[in-house]
């Protein structure tokens, strides 16, 4: 023990240094180690999570791209279908329209022919009346003017004229 004393070892100082160290340990634990270890752990957890998230995002992106391709493919198919259907429909409509137009044209022509026929008949009737009128008037005039000198030949001529016209 004497040797230790010569080296300056003093139990009082030894204990004091021990307490000093213990106190430092406590303060550093509270102020330094605990908060820093916590933040380090938090950070590594966060990084782990972000890496996981990134992987997930990548997977989702691949999925989305695949779905996109699928959807686009489907849409293309459908579009072609719709276009061909539309074409068919147009074709059908065109044919039916042409048919309708033909029928209508025919009808119009028929109507026009009928109308012309009617008109013709009406004109003929009118002409008949008018000629009859003229004949009557001329006969009357002739008879009133000089019935005694009636020339039979004239009457015959008038009648033949009328026949020429087609009455």
User: Rule CB under 8 A: which residues touch other proteins?
Assistant: 4, 6-10, 12-18, 20-25, 27-29, 31-33, 35-37, 39-40, 42-43, 46
Name the CA radius of gyration of the chain, rounded. 63
Per the listing, tokens 């009808």 go with: 107
Q: How far is the CB of 4 from other proteins (least distance, A)?
A: 8
Nearer to other proteins, 39 or 134 (CB): 39
What is 37-85 written as a DSSP string? HHHHHHHHHHHHHHHHHHHHHHHHHHHHHHHHHHHHHHHHHHHHHHHHH
Nearer to other proteins, 20 or 129 (CB): 20
Q: How far is the CB of 40 from other proteins (least distance, A)?
A: 6
In whole angstroms, what is the distance from residue 12 CA to residue 102 CA?
A: 129
Cα 45–Cα 49–Cα 54 angle in degrees, nearest 5: 150
Q: How far is the CB of 60 from other proteins (least distance, A)?
A: 26
Q: How far is the CB of 59 from other proteins (least distance, A)?
A: 27
Q: How far is the CB of 52 from other proteins (least distance, A)?
A: 18
In whole angstroms, what is the distance from residue 63 CA to residue 165 CA?
A: 97
User: Is residue 138 a contact partner of residue 102, using CB atoms and an 8 Å limit?
Assistant: no
Nearer to other proteins, 42 or 68 (CB): 42
Nearer to other proteins, 31 or 98 (CB): 31
Nearer to other proteins, 27 or 57 (CB): 27
């Amino acid at each position: 023990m004497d040797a230790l004393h010569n080296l300056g070892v003093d139990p009082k100082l030894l204990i004091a240094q021990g307490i000093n160290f213990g106190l430092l340990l406590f303060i550093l634990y509270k102020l330094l180690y605990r908060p820093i270890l916590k933040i380090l752990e938090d950070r590594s957890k966060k990084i782990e999570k972000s890496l996981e998230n990134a992987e997930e995002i990548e997977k989702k992106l691949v999925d989305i791209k695949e779905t996109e391709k699928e959807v686009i493919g489907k849409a293309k198919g459908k579009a072609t279908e719709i276009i061909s259907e539309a074409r068919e429909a147009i074709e059908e409509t065109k044919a039916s329209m042409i048919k309708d137009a033909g029928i209508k044209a025919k009808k119009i022509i028929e109507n026009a022919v009928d109308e012309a026929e009617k008109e013709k008949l009406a004109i003929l009737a009118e002409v008949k009346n008018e000629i009859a009128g003229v004949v009557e008037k001329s006969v009357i005039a002739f008879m009133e003017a000089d019935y005694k000198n009636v020339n039979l030949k004239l009457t015959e001529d008038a009648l033949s004229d009328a026949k020429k016209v087609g009455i």
